A and B are shown apart, each in its own frame.
Chain A
């Protein structure tokens, strides 16, 4: 299969938004056997077959959707036909406001992700490198992390009103834990022999950070950022739906309130495409920045 072994990174392949990973248990480690699968050579015929079958799946799904609504198995007021939905999508794409809404949602997403990423990496590195802090914060982290970020929505509304800041509170809270915990794992994963070697060779603190801690923790950081990117999108849209700050989430909520069901379906498709792009881009960044790492190079066979 063409997916290189990076898909076997700590949290498994599903970069699906897990808002609050449940425990501090170490992440499932890389499976060497996956790497073996990844090393299989790409046969052109197999690739063609894969693409053909994949497109057949999509076309089949759209056909089934069209058939169900055409036969009237479900009321048209709750399930518009596939053709109508894509026609509506075309109409919306010609409207500048639609693109502005995408821009608003993605702005919340980007600001939240950057803030959570910086906070998570800095605090994670500090807490992870100082054993006293790591022990002292353990239970607090275990208690704060499982709190679903949506529980904070009412608080965010009260504190900031119907604005982007309220949405940012939710996004940053959810994404922070993703990055923070991965950085903790990453910093804890430093090989003891490598650390002692670095010490006895008299490397300075800065040099140890750059040449030992950073390379060890980077795969974990990238996993954390990839998970956080997916979570940030989910919560940016959720916040717009519940808080009501402008963006795609508010559009879908309003459309559903006035019974404009075709728009609802069209925007569901748009959000799916956005999520897909975010996943692909972050997988690409991860692969590029870890091109030196064995899980990407895939040289380690058993």
Chain B
């Protein structure tokens, strides 16, 4: 009679799924909703000069960023950011692989790289302004130079930590150099590389904002600083919100890419945990 019980169980399942889904949606939007409402009520009851309510900011957001400002300030900023991220990740992985695989090169460069990584990146803005002037190239170079190190150093470390048994197996099966590189070394290093890319993304976003705060006359960072200097409080807040949205967007894109690249890895981890 076990057959019947199992039928009963399947029949009951859908309702549970719905309660579960409703529960998780409630958890997902509950707190943000409560915070927004509290903020809204607070903003109308006790209007503080520097902390306008969410509706005021929403108004300012629409007025400020939807229109020509989007093409003049936001798109160029995002373009520079995208170019710099592509360059950082590309250069970081390529150079990191070479350095990680060549022992003398690694030993030669290690102290230098440690030092360059330790320099707080914004300090380099005056240096690159002196070298390149206030140009788009300067801004991209500043972002790249600041955000290159996490991915570069993680690639070095990841490539170096390739399992030696696997390396020797690949050798004895006489795989060619490029087969070994793309079939073994890079995949083995990819969890580390992705951890580095994640840090690179967030540093790049910071550097994009800061590179536009100095000596610049357009871009997201400039606009926010401009609003603050002219006490356009709601507009300034709308800029902060926009930067937050860009940050969240980057995070979402990254997690999609990471899930694809590291699908095998998460699978292995799950098996190990079970």
Contacts and interface: CB of A to CB of B under 8 A. Distances in A.
A164 B200 CA distance: 28
Nearest to B251: A22
B195 A136 contact: no
Contacts of A237: 120, 122-123
B153 A14 contact: yes
Contacts of A261: 130
B112 A57 contact: yes
B251 A146 contact: yes
A36 B240 contact: no
B203 interface: yes
A139 B112 contact: no
Interface string A188-223: 000000000000000000000000000000000000
The DSSP consensus for interface residues of chain A is: helix
Nearest to A174: B206
A149 B111 CA distance: 30
Interface string A69-93: 0000010011100000000000000
Interface in A1-43: 1, 7-8, 11-14, 16-23, 25, 27-29, 31, 33-34, 36-37
Contacts of A31: 161, 191-192
Interface stretch (B3-11, B54-62, B171-179, B241-249): B241-249
B68 interface: no
Contacts of B98: none
Contact of A234 (B104, B122, B126, B247): B122
Chain B CB count within 10 A is highest, among A20, A74, A256, for: A20
A47 B93 CA distance: 27
Contact of A271 (B27, B123, B157, B203): B123
A12 B154 contact: yes
A78 B248 contact: no
B17 interface: no
Given A16-B149, A37-B160, A139-B28, A148 B104 contact: no
Given A157-B228, A234-B121, A242-B213, A27 B247 contact: no
A242 to B, nearest CB: 6
Given A237-B123, A268-B127, A18 B250 contact: no
Nearest to B188: A33
Contacts of B117: 14, 16, 275
Category for how many chain B residues contact A:
35 or more
B240 A151 contact: yes
Nearest to B109: A57
B120 A271 contact: yes
A155 B192 contact: no
Contacts, number: 240
Interface string B197-220: 011011101100110011000000
A25 B254 CA distance: 11
Interface in B1-60: 24, 27-32, 35, 50
A163 to B, nearest CB: 15
B141 interface: no
A25 B203 contact: no
Contacts of A12: 154, 157-158, 192, 195-196
Given A78-B131, A150-B209, A238-B120, A18 B202 contact: yes
Interface string A120-142: 00000000000000011111101
B274 interface: no
B210 A18 contact: no
B233 interface: yes
Given A14-B149, A29-B269, A77-B130, A139 B115 contact: no
A256 B129 contact: yes
A132 to B, nearest CB: 9
B210 A242 contact: yes
A47 B198 CA distance: 33
Contacts of B248: 142-143, 146
A155 B236 contact: yes
B119 interface: yes
Interface stretch (A48-56, A94-102, A111-119, A288-296): A48-56
Given A148-B243, A268-B123, A275 B118 contact: yes
Given A14-B199, A143-B32, A148 B126 contact: no
Contacts of A284: none
A252 to B, nearest CB: 6
B228 A20 contact: no
Nearest to A147: B244
A79 B126 CA distance: 11
A128 B199 CA distance: 23
Interface string A240-277: 01100000010011011000010011011001111110
Interface of A: 1, 7-8, 11-14, 16-23, 25, 27-29, 31, 33-34, 36-37, 49-50, 53-58, 60-61, 74, 77-79, 135-140, 142-144, 146-155, 157-159, 230, 233-234, 237-238, 241-242, 249, 252-253, 255-256, 261, 264-265, 267-268, 271-276, 278-279
5 contacts: A20-B206, A50-B107, A146-B244, A234-B120, A237-B122
